[in-house]
Structure 1
Amino acid sequence: MHTLYLDAFSGISGDMFIGALLDLGIDFEEFKRELAKINVSGYDLENEKILKSSIFGTSFDVHMHHGEKDHGFVENHVHHHNHDVRHLADILKIIDDSDLKDAIKEQASDVFTEIAKAEAVVHHVEISEIHFHEVGALDSIVDIVGCFVALDLLNVDKVISSTLTDGSGFIDVAHGRMPVPVPAVMQMRVGSQIPIKQDASIHTELITPTGMGIVKNIVSEFSEIPSELTVEKIGYGFGKRETGGFNALRVLLLEKKN
Protein backbone atom coordinates (compact mmCIF):
# COMPACT_ATOMS: atom_id res chain seq x y z
CA MET A 1 0.00 0.00 0.00
CA HIS A 2 1.05 3.59 -0.59
CA THR A 3 0.65 7.07 0.86
CA LEU A 4 -0.34 9.84 -1.55
CA TYR A 5 0.65 13.46 -0.97
CA LEU A 6 -1.34 16.27 -2.60
CA ASP A 7 0.70 19.39 -3.37
CA ALA A 8 -2.28 21.65 -4.00
CA PHE A 9 -0.49 24.91 -4.87
CA SER A 10 -3.11 25.59 -7.56
CA GLY A 11 -6.19 24.08 -6.00
CA ILE A 12 -7.91 20.85 -6.95
CA SER A 13 -10.69 19.59 -9.21
CA GLY A 14 -11.83 16.11 -10.18
CA ASP A 15 -10.15 16.13 -13.58
CA MET A 16 -6.89 17.52 -12.14
CA PHE A 17 -6.87 14.78 -9.50
CA ILE A 18 -7.47 11.97 -12.00
CA GLY A 19 -4.95 13.46 -14.43
CA ALA A 20 -2.30 13.55 -11.72
CA LEU A 21 -2.93 9.94 -10.70
CA LEU A 22 -2.84 8.79 -14.33
CA ASP A 23 0.44 10.66 -14.65
CA LEU A 24 1.87 8.40 -11.95
CA GLY A 25 1.62 5.54 -14.42
CA ILE A 26 -1.85 3.99 -14.15
CA ASP A 27 -2.71 1.78 -17.14
CA PHE A 28 -5.34 3.89 -18.94
CA GLU A 29 -7.02 0.86 -20.54
CA GLU A 30 -7.39 -0.78 -17.14
CA PHE A 31 -8.74 2.50 -15.74
CA LYS A 32 -11.37 2.62 -18.51
CA ARG A 33 -12.34 -1.01 -17.92
CA GLU A 34 -12.92 -0.32 -14.24
CA LEU A 35 -14.95 2.82 -14.97
CA ALA A 36 -17.10 0.86 -17.42
CA LYS A 37 -18.43 -1.00 -14.38
CA ILE A 38 -20.64 2.04 -13.70
CA ASN A 39 -22.78 0.63 -16.57
CA VAL A 40 -23.58 3.98 -18.16
CA SER A 41 -22.78 5.22 -21.65
CA GLY A 42 -22.65 8.48 -23.57
CA TYR A 43 -19.11 9.58 -22.83
CA ASP A 44 -15.51 9.19 -23.93
CA LEU A 45 -12.38 9.66 -21.82
CA GLU A 46 -9.37 11.68 -22.92
CA ASN A 47 -5.92 11.14 -21.45
CA GLU A 48 -3.29 13.40 -23.00
CA LYS A 49 0.32 13.99 -22.06
CA ILE A 50 1.03 17.69 -22.54
CA LEU A 51 3.75 20.24 -21.82
CA LYS A 52 3.26 23.40 -19.77
CA SER A 53 6.06 25.63 -18.53
CA SER A 54 8.50 22.96 -19.81
CA ILE A 55 6.91 20.43 -17.44
CA PHE A 56 5.15 17.34 -18.76
CA GLY A 57 1.93 16.27 -17.11
CA THR A 58 -1.44 14.74 -17.93
CA SER A 59 -4.66 16.40 -18.99
CA PHE A 60 -7.74 14.27 -18.30
CA ASP A 61 -11.22 15.05 -19.55
CA VAL A 62 -14.65 13.48 -19.88
CA HIS A 63 -16.25 14.22 -23.27
CA MET A 64 -20.03 13.88 -23.38
CA HIS A 65 -21.63 12.56 -26.58
CA HIS A 66 -24.60 14.89 -26.19
CA GLY A 67 -25.18 17.99 -24.12
CA GLU A 68 -22.90 19.95 -21.85
CA LYS A 69 -20.62 19.08 -18.98
CA ASP A 70 -21.62 19.54 -15.36
CA HIS A 71 -22.48 23.11 -14.37
CA GLY A 72 -23.84 22.26 -10.95
CA PHE A 73 -27.33 21.87 -9.61
CA VAL A 74 -30.52 23.08 -11.33
CA GLU A 75 -32.68 25.42 -9.27
CA ASN A 76 -35.99 23.85 -8.31
CA HIS A 77 -38.14 26.69 -9.63
CA VAL A 78 -36.79 26.20 -13.15
CA HIS A 79 -39.10 23.94 -15.13
CA HIS A 80 -37.46 20.80 -16.51
CA HIS A 81 -38.81 17.57 -17.89
CA ASN A 82 -38.13 14.60 -15.65
CA HIS A 83 -35.77 13.07 -18.19
CA ASP A 84 -33.64 16.21 -18.19
CA VAL A 85 -32.56 16.08 -14.55
CA ARG A 86 -31.28 13.65 -11.95
CA HIS A 87 -31.81 13.90 -8.21
CA LEU A 88 -29.15 12.90 -5.71
CA ALA A 89 -31.09 9.67 -5.10
CA ASP A 90 -30.94 8.85 -8.83
CA ILE A 91 -27.17 9.35 -8.85
CA LEU A 92 -26.65 7.25 -5.74
CA LYS A 93 -28.73 4.45 -7.28
CA ILE A 94 -26.59 4.45 -10.45
CA ILE A 95 -23.49 4.10 -8.30
CA ASP A 96 -25.04 1.44 -6.05
CA ASP A 97 -26.29 -0.61 -9.02
CA SER A 98 -22.84 -0.62 -10.64
CA ASP A 99 -20.33 -3.48 -10.60
CA LEU A 100 -17.71 -1.40 -8.80
CA LYS A 101 -16.03 -2.46 -5.59
CA ASP A 102 -18.11 -1.66 -2.51
CA ALA A 103 -15.44 0.67 -1.11
CA ILE A 104 -15.44 2.72 -4.34
CA LYS A 105 -19.25 2.89 -4.32
CA GLU A 106 -19.26 4.11 -0.73
CA GLN A 107 -16.60 6.78 -1.24
CA ALA A 108 -18.13 8.13 -4.46
CA SER A 109 -21.59 8.24 -2.86
CA ASP A 110 -20.18 10.07 0.16
CA VAL A 111 -18.64 12.76 -2.07
CA PHE A 112 -21.87 13.28 -4.02
CA THR A 113 -23.83 13.52 -0.77
CA GLU A 114 -21.31 15.99 0.68
CA ILE A 115 -21.62 18.26 -2.37
CA ALA A 116 -25.42 18.04 -2.42
CA LYS A 117 -25.63 18.89 1.29
CA ALA A 118 -23.47 21.97 0.77
CA GLU A 119 -25.51 23.13 -2.23
CA ALA A 120 -28.75 22.60 -0.30
CA VAL A 121 -27.55 24.83 2.56
CA VAL A 122 -26.18 27.52 0.25
CA HIS A 123 -29.37 27.70 -1.83
CA HIS A 124 -31.73 27.11 1.11
CA VAL A 125 -33.52 24.05 -0.28
CA GLU A 126 -34.03 20.51 0.93
CA ILE A 127 -31.39 18.06 -0.23
CA SER A 128 -34.15 16.10 -2.01
CA GLU A 129 -34.83 19.19 -4.14
CA ILE A 130 -31.30 19.34 -5.51
CA HIS A 131 -31.38 18.50 -9.21
CA PHE A 132 -28.52 18.02 -11.64
CA HIS A 133 -28.73 18.15 -15.42
CA GLU A 134 -28.91 14.57 -16.70
CA VAL A 135 -25.82 14.90 -18.89
CA GLY A 136 -23.96 16.98 -16.33
CA ALA A 137 -24.68 14.43 -13.63
CA LEU A 138 -23.18 11.71 -15.83
CA ASP A 139 -20.04 13.83 -16.24
CA SER A 140 -19.74 14.19 -12.48
CA ILE A 141 -20.43 10.49 -11.83
CA VAL A 142 -17.57 9.49 -14.14
CA ASP A 143 -15.30 12.18 -12.65
CA ILE A 144 -15.94 11.34 -9.00
CA VAL A 145 -16.01 7.56 -9.39
CA GLY A 146 -12.85 7.84 -11.51
CA CYS A 147 -10.99 9.42 -8.60
CA PHE A 148 -11.58 6.40 -6.38
CA VAL A 149 -10.95 3.90 -9.17
CA ALA A 150 -7.55 5.57 -9.71
CA LEU A 151 -6.72 5.50 -5.98
CA ASP A 152 -7.62 1.82 -5.86
CA LEU A 153 -5.43 1.00 -8.88
CA LEU A 154 -2.50 2.73 -7.17
CA ASN A 155 -3.11 0.82 -3.91
CA VAL A 156 -3.29 4.07 -1.94
CA ASP A 157 -4.50 3.65 1.63
CA LYS A 158 -3.59 7.07 3.06
CA VAL A 159 -3.73 10.60 1.64
CA ILE A 160 -1.97 13.65 3.08
CA SER A 161 -2.25 17.16 1.67
CA SER A 162 -0.61 20.54 1.78
CA THR A 163 -2.71 23.59 2.55
CA LEU A 164 -5.12 24.10 -0.36
CA THR A 165 -4.73 27.22 -2.49
CA ASP A 166 -7.72 28.97 -4.03
CA GLY A 167 -7.99 32.06 -6.16
CA SER A 168 -9.75 35.28 -5.19
CA GLY A 169 -12.32 37.75 -6.42
CA PHE A 170 -15.51 36.64 -8.15
CA ILE A 171 -16.61 34.28 -10.91
CA ASP A 172 -19.70 34.47 -13.12
CA VAL A 173 -21.87 31.33 -13.14
CA ALA A 174 -25.38 30.42 -14.30
CA HIS A 175 -26.87 31.74 -11.03
CA GLY A 176 -25.03 35.07 -11.11
CA ARG A 177 -21.77 36.29 -9.62
CA MET A 178 -20.17 34.27 -6.83
CA PRO A 179 -17.25 35.00 -4.52
CA VAL A 180 -14.14 32.82 -4.48
CA PRO A 181 -13.98 30.38 -2.72
CA VAL A 182 -17.39 29.56 -4.18
CA PRO A 183 -20.14 29.16 -1.56
CA ALA A 184 -20.39 25.34 -1.83
CA VAL A 185 -16.65 25.01 -1.22
CA MET A 186 -16.84 27.37 1.73
CA GLN A 187 -19.85 25.50 3.15
CA MET A 188 -17.89 22.24 3.05
CA ARG A 189 -15.38 23.79 5.43
CA VAL A 190 -18.04 23.72 8.14
CA GLY A 191 -17.18 21.05 10.68
CA SER A 192 -13.74 20.50 9.19
CA GLN A 193 -10.24 21.87 9.66
CA ILE A 194 -9.31 22.00 5.97
CA PRO A 195 -6.80 24.84 5.56
CA ILE A 196 -7.23 27.12 2.55
CA LYS A 197 -5.13 30.11 1.58
CA GLN A 198 -6.11 32.52 -1.18
CA ASP A 199 -3.81 33.75 -3.93
CA ALA A 200 -4.74 37.38 -4.59
CA SER A 201 -3.00 37.28 -7.97
CA ILE A 202 -5.40 34.62 -9.32
CA HIS A 203 -8.86 35.99 -10.16
CA THR A 204 -10.84 32.78 -10.56
CA GLU A 205 -11.68 29.63 -8.60
CA LEU A 206 -9.03 26.97 -8.17
CA ILE A 207 -10.93 24.65 -5.81
CA THR A 208 -14.11 23.20 -7.28
CA PRO A 209 -16.90 21.66 -5.18
CA THR A 210 -15.91 18.25 -6.56
CA GLY A 211 -12.29 18.84 -5.57
CA MET A 212 -13.29 19.95 -2.09
CA GLY A 213 -15.62 16.98 -1.67
CA ILE A 214 -12.81 14.61 -2.60
CA VAL A 215 -10.37 16.27 -0.20
CA LYS A 216 -12.88 16.15 2.65
CA ASN A 217 -13.45 12.45 1.99
CA ILE A 218 -9.89 11.16 1.55
CA VAL A 219 -7.36 13.44 3.28
CA SER A 220 -6.44 12.30 6.78
CA GLU A 221 -4.02 15.13 7.60
CA PHE A 222 -2.66 18.42 6.30
CA SER A 223 1.07 18.74 6.74
CA GLU A 224 4.45 18.77 5.09
CA ILE A 225 5.75 15.53 3.57
CA PRO A 226 6.40 13.21 6.55
CA SER A 227 10.10 12.74 7.20
CA GLU A 228 9.75 8.97 7.57
CA LEU A 229 8.51 8.65 3.97
CA THR A 230 10.42 8.95 0.72
CA VAL A 231 9.12 10.05 -2.69
CA GLU A 232 8.71 7.17 -5.14
CA LYS A 233 6.96 8.95 -8.06
CA ILE A 234 5.62 12.41 -8.95
CA GLY A 235 2.65 13.19 -11.20
CA TYR A 236 1.07 16.39 -12.55
CA GLY A 237 -2.59 16.80 -13.46
CA PHE A 238 -3.38 19.94 -15.44
CA GLY A 239 -6.47 22.09 -14.91
CA LYS A 240 -8.54 23.55 -17.75
CA ARG A 241 -8.68 27.14 -16.48
CA GLU A 242 -6.22 29.74 -17.71
CA THR A 243 -5.11 31.25 -14.42
CA GLY A 244 -2.03 33.17 -15.53
CA GLY A 245 0.02 30.73 -13.48
CA PHE A 246 1.00 27.07 -13.51
CA ASN A 247 -2.42 25.46 -13.07
CA ALA A 248 -1.77 21.89 -11.99
CA LEU A 249 -2.14 19.52 -9.09
CA ARG A 250 1.11 17.81 -8.15
CA VAL A 251 0.87 14.43 -6.42
CA LEU A 252 3.65 12.44 -4.79
CA LEU A 253 3.52 8.71 -4.25
CA LEU A 254 5.31 7.98 -0.99
CA GLU A 255 6.70 4.88 0.67
CA LYS A 256 8.44 4.17 3.95
CA LYS A 257 12.21 4.54 3.99
CA ASN A 258 14.20 1.32 4.16
Structure 2
Amino acid sequence: MKTLYFDCFSGISGDMVIGALIDAGADPNFLVEELKKLHIENEYELKWKKLVKNGITSSKFDVQLLNNVHSDNHDHNHTHNHDHVHNHDHSHGHHHEHRAYKDIVKLIENAGFAEPVKKTALKIFKRIGEAEGHIHGIPLEQVYFHEVGAVDSIIDIIGAVILIHQLEIDVIKSSPIPVGTGRIHIAHGIYPVPAPATLEILKGVPIDQSEIKAELTTPTGAAIVSVLAEEFCSIPSMKIKSIGYGAGTKTFKNHPNVLRVIIGE
Protein backbone atom coordinates (compact mmCIF):
# COMPACT_ATOMS: atom_id res chain seq x y z
CA MET A 1 0.00 0.00 0.00
CA LYS A 2 1.43 3.32 -1.04
CA THR A 3 0.68 5.90 1.65
CA LEU A 4 0.86 9.67 1.38
CA TYR A 5 1.03 11.72 4.58
CA PHE A 6 0.36 15.46 4.65
CA ASP A 7 2.50 16.97 7.40
CA CYS A 8 0.77 20.33 7.78
CA PHE A 9 2.93 22.01 10.42
CA SER A 10 2.41 25.36 8.67
CA GLY A 11 -1.12 24.80 7.41
CA ILE A 12 -2.13 23.88 3.88
CA SER A 13 -3.12 25.64 0.66
CA GLY A 14 -3.71 24.38 -2.86
CA ASP A 15 -0.43 25.69 -4.26
CA MET A 16 1.51 24.21 -1.32
CA VAL A 17 -0.03 20.80 -2.03
CA ILE A 18 1.02 20.86 -5.68
CA GLY A 19 4.48 22.24 -4.84
CA ALA A 20 5.00 19.46 -2.29
CA LEU A 21 3.81 16.72 -4.67
CA ILE A 22 6.12 17.98 -7.44
CA ASP A 23 8.95 18.14 -4.90
CA ALA A 24 8.20 14.53 -3.89
CA GLY A 25 8.56 13.35 -7.49
CA ALA A 26 5.24 13.97 -9.27
CA ASP A 27 5.63 15.16 -12.87
CA PRO A 28 4.70 18.82 -13.46
CA ASN A 29 4.78 18.41 -17.24
CA PHE A 30 2.20 15.63 -17.02
CA LEU A 31 0.13 18.06 -14.95
CA VAL A 32 0.35 20.76 -17.64
CA GLU A 33 -0.80 18.29 -20.30
CA GLU A 34 -3.67 16.84 -18.25
CA LEU A 35 -5.00 20.28 -17.32
CA LYS A 36 -5.33 21.14 -21.02
CA LYS A 37 -8.36 18.84 -21.00
CA LEU A 38 -10.25 21.64 -19.22
CA HIS A 39 -9.79 23.90 -22.27
CA ILE A 40 -9.08 26.99 -20.20
CA GLU A 41 -5.32 27.09 -20.78
CA ASN A 42 -5.56 30.52 -22.38
CA GLU A 43 -6.53 31.86 -18.95
CA TYR A 44 -3.42 30.86 -17.02
CA GLU A 45 0.22 29.91 -17.08
CA LEU A 46 1.83 27.46 -14.65
CA LYS A 47 5.22 28.10 -13.08
CA TRP A 48 7.22 26.05 -10.61
CA LYS A 49 10.65 26.60 -9.15
CA LYS A 50 12.87 25.54 -6.27
CA LEU A 51 13.43 28.05 -3.51
CA VAL A 52 14.74 28.05 0.03
CA LYS A 53 12.21 28.85 2.75
CA ASN A 54 13.85 29.46 6.15
CA GLY A 55 16.57 26.97 5.37
CA ILE A 56 14.42 24.33 3.66
CA THR A 57 14.68 23.77 -0.07
CA SER A 58 11.14 23.50 -1.36
CA SER A 59 9.16 23.77 -4.58
CA LYS A 60 6.97 26.81 -5.21
CA PHE A 61 4.06 26.32 -7.57
CA ASP A 62 2.28 29.31 -9.10
CA VAL A 63 -0.76 29.79 -11.28
CA GLN A 64 -0.37 33.05 -13.15
CA LEU A 65 -3.58 34.42 -14.57
CA LEU A 66 -3.44 35.78 -18.08
CA ASN A 67 -5.81 38.71 -18.39
CA ASN A 68 -7.63 39.72 -21.54
CA VAL A 69 -6.43 36.90 -23.69
CA HIS A 70 -9.00 36.49 -26.42
CA SER A 71 -9.39 33.21 -28.16
CA ASP A 72 -12.30 34.36 -30.25
CA ASN A 73 -13.16 37.06 -32.73
CA HIS A 74 -15.84 38.88 -30.79
CA ASP A 75 -15.27 42.45 -29.84
CA HIS A 76 -14.83 42.26 -26.09
CA ASN A 77 -13.84 45.78 -25.25
CA HIS A 78 -17.06 46.50 -23.42
CA THR A 79 -17.29 46.22 -19.65
CA HIS A 80 -18.30 42.83 -18.33
CA ASN A 81 -21.05 42.91 -15.77
CA HIS A 82 -20.49 39.29 -14.93
CA ASP A 83 -22.92 38.45 -17.71
CA HIS A 84 -20.21 36.30 -19.26
CA VAL A 85 -20.74 33.68 -16.61
CA HIS A 86 -24.10 32.87 -18.17
CA ASN A 87 -22.92 33.28 -21.69
CA HIS A 88 -20.58 30.47 -22.33
CA ASP A 89 -20.59 30.29 -26.08
CA HIS A 90 -18.16 33.14 -26.42
CA SER A 91 -16.61 33.72 -23.06
CA HIS A 92 -13.55 31.53 -23.29
CA GLY A 93 -11.24 34.46 -23.57
CA HIS A 94 -12.01 36.19 -20.31
CA HIS A 95 -10.41 35.85 -17.01
CA HIS A 96 -13.44 34.85 -14.96
CA GLU A 97 -13.59 36.66 -11.65
CA HIS A 98 -16.65 34.60 -10.78
CA ARG A 99 -17.55 31.14 -11.90
CA ALA A 100 -20.71 29.44 -10.81
CA TYR A 101 -20.36 26.13 -8.98
CA LYS A 102 -22.34 24.42 -11.73
CA ASP A 103 -19.98 25.76 -14.42
CA ILE A 104 -17.02 24.25 -12.59
CA VAL A 105 -18.85 20.91 -12.33
CA LYS A 106 -19.47 20.99 -16.09
CA LEU A 107 -15.85 21.85 -16.77
CA ILE A 108 -14.67 18.84 -14.75
CA GLU A 109 -17.29 16.44 -16.13
CA ASN A 110 -16.50 17.31 -19.74
CA ALA A 111 -12.73 17.10 -19.42
CA GLY A 112 -12.38 13.36 -19.88
CA PHE A 113 -10.14 12.80 -16.86
CA ALA A 114 -9.64 9.32 -15.41
CA GLU A 115 -12.76 8.40 -13.41
CA PRO A 116 -11.14 8.62 -9.93
CA VAL A 117 -9.68 12.04 -10.78
CA LYS A 118 -13.07 13.33 -11.90
CA LYS A 119 -14.91 11.92 -8.88
CA THR A 120 -12.44 13.25 -6.32
CA ALA A 121 -12.19 16.72 -7.92
CA LEU A 122 -16.00 17.00 -7.91
CA LYS A 123 -16.11 15.94 -4.27
CA ILE A 124 -13.59 18.62 -3.25
CA PHE A 125 -15.47 21.34 -5.11
CA LYS A 126 -18.72 20.18 -3.58
CA ARG A 127 -17.18 20.51 -0.14
CA ILE A 128 -16.25 24.12 -0.84
CA GLY A 129 -19.54 24.90 -2.57
CA GLU A 130 -21.58 23.54 0.32
CA ALA A 131 -19.53 25.50 2.85
CA GLU A 132 -19.91 28.74 0.89
CA GLY A 133 -23.63 28.10 0.40
CA HIS A 134 -24.09 27.41 4.10
CA ILE A 135 -22.33 30.63 5.12
CA HIS A 136 -24.06 32.86 2.58
CA GLY A 137 -27.40 31.13 3.08
CA ILE A 138 -27.88 30.00 -0.52
CA PRO A 139 -28.37 26.59 -2.17
CA LEU A 140 -25.41 24.92 -3.86
CA GLU A 141 -26.79 25.59 -7.35
CA GLN A 142 -26.58 29.33 -6.71
CA VAL A 143 -23.05 29.40 -5.33
CA TYR A 144 -20.58 31.57 -7.22
CA PHE A 145 -16.92 31.29 -6.42
CA HIS A 146 -15.10 34.48 -5.56
CA GLU A 147 -12.00 33.86 -3.43
CA VAL A 148 -11.97 30.16 -4.11
CA GLY A 149 -13.49 30.23 -7.54
CA ALA A 150 -10.99 31.91 -9.72
CA VAL A 151 -8.92 29.86 -12.09
CA ASP A 152 -6.13 29.20 -9.60
CA SER A 153 -8.38 27.19 -7.30
CA ILE A 154 -9.66 25.14 -10.20
CA ILE A 155 -6.05 24.39 -11.15
CA ASP A 156 -4.92 23.74 -7.56
CA ILE A 157 -7.72 21.30 -6.77
CA ILE A 158 -7.79 19.38 -10.03
CA GLY A 159 -3.99 19.51 -10.24
CA ALA A 160 -3.56 18.01 -6.77
CA VAL A 161 -5.91 15.15 -7.65
CA ILE A 162 -4.17 14.53 -10.99
CA LEU A 163 -0.75 14.28 -9.32
CA ILE A 164 -1.95 12.01 -6.51
CA HIS A 165 -3.44 9.74 -9.16
CA GLN A 166 -0.19 9.88 -11.14
CA LEU A 167 1.80 8.89 -8.02
CA GLU A 168 -0.54 5.87 -7.58
CA ILE A 169 -1.28 6.64 -3.94
CA ASP A 170 -3.52 4.12 -2.14
CA VAL A 171 -3.95 5.71 1.28
CA ILE A 172 -3.86 9.36 2.39
CA LYS A 173 -3.43 10.52 5.96
CA SER A 174 -2.74 13.91 7.46
CA SER A 175 -1.62 15.65 10.60
CA PRO A 176 -4.15 17.85 12.41
CA ILE A 177 -4.53 21.20 10.61
CA PRO A 178 -3.19 24.47 12.05
CA VAL A 179 -5.32 27.37 10.86
CA GLY A 180 -3.56 30.44 12.29
CA THR A 181 -5.03 33.44 14.11
CA GLY A 182 -5.69 37.13 13.50
CA ARG A 183 -7.63 38.87 10.73
CA ILE A 184 -7.64 38.84 6.94
CA HIS A 185 -9.05 41.09 4.25
CA ILE A 186 -11.29 39.32 1.76
CA ALA A 187 -13.93 40.44 -0.72
CA HIS A 188 -16.61 40.65 1.97
CA GLY A 189 -14.53 42.74 4.41
CA ILE A 190 -12.22 42.05 7.32
CA TYR A 191 -12.72 38.52 8.59
CA PRO A 192 -11.34 36.45 11.44
CA VAL A 193 -8.82 33.70 10.76
CA PRO A 194 -9.68 31.00 9.94
CA ALA A 195 -12.09 32.46 7.39
CA PRO A 196 -15.66 31.16 7.85
CA ALA A 197 -15.46 28.99 4.72
CA THR A 198 -12.23 27.37 5.90
CA LEU A 199 -13.70 26.59 9.31
CA GLU A 200 -16.90 25.22 7.80
CA ILE A 201 -14.90 22.97 5.44
CA LEU A 202 -12.85 21.66 8.37
CA LYS A 203 -15.90 20.45 10.32
CA GLY A 204 -15.05 16.98 11.56
CA VAL A 205 -11.31 17.53 11.03
CA PRO A 206 -8.99 18.01 14.03
CA ILE A 207 -7.48 21.47 13.93
CA ASP A 208 -4.32 22.53 15.68
CA GLN A 209 -3.75 25.62 17.77
CA SER A 210 -1.18 27.99 16.33
CA GLU A 211 0.12 31.34 17.52
CA ILE A 212 1.00 32.50 14.02
CA LYS A 213 -0.93 35.61 13.05
CA ALA A 214 -1.75 34.67 9.48
CA GLU A 215 -4.10 32.56 7.43
CA LEU A 216 -2.19 29.28 7.41
CA THR A 217 -4.92 27.19 5.83
CA THR A 218 -6.99 28.38 2.88
CA PRO A 219 -10.44 27.10 1.88
CA THR A 220 -8.85 25.28 -1.08
CA GLY A 221 -6.21 23.60 1.09
CA ALA A 222 -8.81 22.73 3.72
CA ALA A 223 -11.12 21.16 1.13
CA ILE A 224 -8.34 19.11 -0.48
CA VAL A 225 -7.16 17.64 2.82
CA SER A 226 -10.61 17.17 4.37
CA VAL A 227 -11.84 15.17 1.38
CA LEU A 228 -8.64 13.21 0.70
CA ALA A 229 -7.41 12.23 4.16
CA GLU A 230 -9.02 9.17 5.67
CA GLU A 231 -7.30 9.69 9.02
CA PHE A 232 -5.73 12.58 10.95
CA CYS A 233 -2.83 11.28 13.00
CA SER A 234 0.89 11.48 13.59
CA ILE A 235 3.23 10.08 10.91
CA PRO A 236 2.05 6.51 10.24
CA SER A 237 4.35 3.46 10.37
CA MET A 238 5.86 3.08 6.94
CA LYS A 239 9.07 2.79 5.02
CA ILE A 240 9.69 6.26 3.60
CA LYS A 241 10.24 6.42 -0.14
CA SER A 242 10.10 10.14 -0.90
CA ILE A 243 9.60 13.48 0.82
CA GLY A 244 8.50 16.76 -0.70
CA TYR A 245 8.29 20.34 0.56
CA GLY A 246 5.83 22.77 -0.99
CA ALA A 247 6.42 26.45 -0.31
CA GLY A 248 3.64 28.83 0.68
CA THR A 249 3.59 32.42 -0.48
CA LYS A 250 4.10 34.02 2.93
CA THR A 251 7.38 33.94 4.81
CA PHE A 252 7.49 33.88 8.62
CA LYS A 253 10.40 34.92 10.76
CA ASN A 254 10.93 31.82 12.89
CA HIS A 255 9.08 29.21 10.99
CA PRO A 256 9.38 27.64 7.51
CA ASN A 257 6.09 28.17 5.71
CA VAL A 258 6.07 24.88 3.84
CA LEU A 259 3.86 21.83 3.58
CA ARG A 260 5.66 18.50 3.86
CA VAL A 261 4.42 15.37 2.14
CA ILE A 262 5.85 11.99 3.03
CA ILE A 263 5.28 9.05 0.72
CA GLY A 264 6.04 5.50 1.79
CA GLU A 265 5.03 1.88 1.66
Q: 2:239 aligns with which of 187, 212, 230?
A: 230
Q: Contact (CA 8 Å) 1:58, 1:236: kept in 2 or not?
A: yes
Kindly provide the CA deviation profile for residues 69-95 of structure 1, in whole angstroms up to 9, marking residues without a partner as x: xxxxxxxxxx63234532111110010
Question: Which residue number in structure 1 is paired with residue 201 of structure 2?
Answer: 188
Return closer, same or farther for 1:171/1:126 CA change in 2, 3 Å cut-off: same
* One-letter code aligned to 2:50: K
Q: Contact (CA 8 Å) 2:148, 2:219: kept in 1 or not?
A: no
Question: Which residue number in structure 2 is paired with residue 12 of structure 1?
Answer: 12
Kindly provide the CA deviation profile for residues 57-116 of structure 1, in whole angstroms up to 9, marking residues without a partner as x: 10001111117xxxxxxxxxxx63234532111110010000211111111111111101
CA RMSD of aligned residues (A): 1.9
Kindly provide the CA deviation profile for residues 213-240 of structure 1, in whole angstroms up to 9, marking residues without a partner as x: 111111011112223x111111100001
Q: 2:222 aligns with which of 212, 224, 230?
A: 212
* 1:48, distance to aligned residue in structure 2 (A): 0.3
* 1:180, distance to aligned residue in structure 2 (A): 1.2
In the alignment, structure 1 residue 43 sits paired with structure 2 residue 53: no
Give, in whole Å, the separation in 2 of the partners of 1:243 and 1:131.
Answer: 32
Give, in whole Å, the separation in 1 of the partners of 2:27 and 2:249.
Answer: 23
Scaled by the length of structure 2, what TM-score is found? Answer: 0.85
How high is the sequence identity, in percent, across the aligned residues? 41
In the alignment, structure 1 residue 167 sits paired with structure 2 residue 168: no
Q: Contact (CA 8 Å) 1:14, 1:211: kept in 2 or not?
A: yes
Give, in whole Å, the separation in 1 of the partners of 2:32 and 2:244.
Answer: 19
* One-letter code aligned to 2:99: R
Flag structure 1 segments of 5+ consecutive residues without an equivalent. 68-78
Count of matched residue positions in the alignment of Structure 1 and Structure 2: 240
Scaled by the length of structure 1, what TM-score is found? Answer: 0.87
Question: Which residue number in structure 1 is paired with residue 2 of structure 2?
Answer: 2
* 1:53, distance to aligned residue in structure 2 (A): 2.1
Flag structure 2 segments of 5+ consecutive residues without an equivalent. 69-80, 86-95
